[in-house]
Amino acid sequence: MPRRFSLLLGLLTALSLLFCAGCSSEPQTQETPAVTGFSCDTDVSYQDMHVKGKLTRMEEGTLTFALDEPESLDGLTMKWDGATISFELYGMSFGVDPEAIPESALGQSIVNALDAVGQTEAAAANAEDGSAVVTGTSVSGEFELAFDPASGQLLSLRFPDLGMNATFSNFQTVTSETVE
C-alpha cells in the first residue's frame, strides 16, 4: 500500500509540473497596441485647450473625433483623412487645409503617433502601473503611448514637447460594419 501511495504521489507531482511548465510569474504582454479598428472616449489637453469626445480610427492615416466638450463645440466632428481635415456640424461639412488651423495639430498628432507605432516594431516596456509603454518619434515629435498589455487597448498618449496629453477609456474594437 505505501508503495502505491508513493507511486501515485510521484505521478501527481509529475503531472502538476507538466501543467505548470507554461506558467510564468511574469505577466504576458501584447507586443503592440491596437492602433486601428477601434472607438473610445477621449479626454485631451493640448496647450491651453481641453476637449472630450469619441475617437474612432478604422485604418492607418485616418481619425474621426466627435467632440462633446466644451459645450461650445458639442456636436462638432473633425475627420482627418491623411491629407485634409473636414469639419461636420449640424449636417454641414467642409474641408480645411490642416495648416490653416493650428488646433488641427491635436488630431494630426494622434494620427501620426498611431501610424508610427503601426509601421514599426517598437518594443513595449512595462510601466510601474502595469501598463505597457511604447515610445517613438513621429512627424509631430516624440511621444509615449501607454496601452493595456493584455488586450492592446490604448490608455494614454503624451507628446511632451507639444504639451499634449490624451487619455482613452471605454475602448471598443470596431469594424466598418459596426461604425454608426
77-86 pLDDT tens trace: 999 887 778 8
H-helix or E-strand spanning residue 13: helix 2-19
For cell 507554461, the residue is 22
The pLDDT of residue 44? 93
**Residue 103 pLDDT level (bands cut at 50, 70, 90):** low
Could you please report the per-residue DSSP string of 120-159?
Answer: S-PPPEEPTTS-EEEEEEETTEEEEEEE-TTT--EEEEEE
The pLDDT of residue 98? 64
Residue-wise pLDDT tens digits, 152-172: 899 999 999 888 999 999 999
Among 33-47, 51-65, 106-120, the range scoring the smallest mean pLDDT is 106-120
DSSP state, residue 94: E
**Residue 96 pLDDT level (bands cut at 50, 70, 90):** confident
Mean pLDDT for the chain overall: 77
For the full predicted model, state whether its pTM sits above 0.85.
no
